[in-house]
Amino acid sequence: MAAPSCSVSGLWVRGSWQRLGNLFTFVSKPLCSAAAASRPLDAQRLAERFRAQKQEQKTKKPLPTNPVQRRVQELLRFTEQLQRVHPNVLAKALSRGLVHQDEDLVVINKPYGLPVHGGPGVRLCISDVLPVLGKLLRGHKAEPLHLCHRLDKETTGVMVLAWEKEVAHQVQELFRTRQVTKKYWAVTTRTPVPSAGVVDIPIIEKEVQGQERHHKVGIKHQLRVHLSFGLDCPLLGDHKYSDWNRLAPQKLSASILKKLGLPQSKARHIPLHLHACQLTLPALQAGKEELNLVCKPPRYFVHSLHRLGLKMPSRDQNGDEETTHSGAR
């Protein structure tokens, strides 16, 4: 596994909220409309309305004055609302940000906080919207799209879907046999030493302390485990693998917290800074060329680098990303 191309601490500023924010509109109805004023309300209904209105006021927290804390709160609200939207709304949002589309594949830019598969506590995931997304792109008679691989819920970036199940199996085999070149951009709390190389460290499952019984399964999160426990430079916002012995919010140094403008108590809300920026797929059919898929990082990732005075990795003459390393102390 190659080392990440960017390894410095940073801060998110804003995720996909700018694009999807207009999809989540809350309308508060008045207590009594003009039409309803003409008919009497019984005491029970009136009391229920008062209670609902009072509860709504309690849940509305004022935005903090600190711009960093305000953006952290915005991203939290975005990820919560992402689980409540209708599948049609999410499918339309994904269709507007397509990375690539042809007769075999559809490539999307996976947003932060959206799981790929369902599970406990998951109301909406990418697999739920594949039938709707297929109809949006090919019409009402289109078959559902198929997943070719997966990304973690908190990971953003390039994600490949296939129109036909056979093509999806073909791409899955390319991933399994490591014929797909994958590049990630990562922001870490420390700089890896050495700055480049191959990580070859066995991964085991470990039970950790917590309110309930938990296990850290590194096989699913190989990159995160190797960075944290192998190279001692956890990903910024990785609250699962920053501590080997327990589940707890990530501890950040005083200098990093100062740059972020956050107290340690707010560090738990910093999102994971891991972006699948590029995939290179071999040709799926004879006579076709390999497919190079590039996806821009989310806005909060870019702003993290700007806030710390870091530069985005540039491209060299061979088309590969040059590695830019800076330490935050």
- What residues act catalytically? 152
The DSSP string of 35-67 is HHHTS---HHHHHHHHHHHHHHHHH-PPPPSSH
- Phi and psi at residue 191, in whole multiples of 5°? -90, 130
Distance CA 57, CA 203 (A): 48
Give the residue from 222, 228, 153, 247 showing the smallest Cα distance to 189: 228
Task: Report the half-sphere exposure of 218 (CA within 13 A, side-chain side).
Answer: 20
Distance CA 187, CA 271 (A): 11
What three-state secondary structure class fits 267? helix
Here the tokens at position 90 are 């999410």
Distance CA 281, CA 182 (A): 9
The CA R_g of the chain, rounded to the nearest whole Å, is 23
